[in-house]
Amino acid sequence: MNPQRPKPDLIFQEFALLTNYAVRHKRLPAEQRAELERWFEVVHTLMSEYRPGEDDPQRFEESLLERSLNQLNRFLKGGIAPIRKRSP
């Protein structure tokens, strides 16, 4: 298994654990959970674009961080933007 590849079951379980905690402790309004889950799915999709042997891991992770923060900023402003695929 490639360590750069996401582990879908575990990553979604961990995210659910965090969002459940945030809602339970009033850190996240329950009505915003679905939108935040959409953001997480977008980021998960971006993670799956990694191409072993082609992508530089550090540059890919830097780009992933930037793109995910941009998506999070859009979420905070009221909506998730469509995913823009990276150029090959």
- pLDDT band, very low/low/confident/very high, at 3 (cuts 50, 70, 90): low
Q: What is the pLDDT of residue 71?
A: 86
Residues 36, 45: contact at Cβ < 8 Å?
no
Which pTM was predicted? 0.68
Provide, rounded to the nearest whole percent, the portion of the chain with pLDDT above 90: 34
Mean pLDDT value across residues 63-74:
90
Residue 5 CB partners (closer than 8 Å, separation 6+) = 47, 48, 50
Q: What is the pLDDT of residue 85?
A: 56
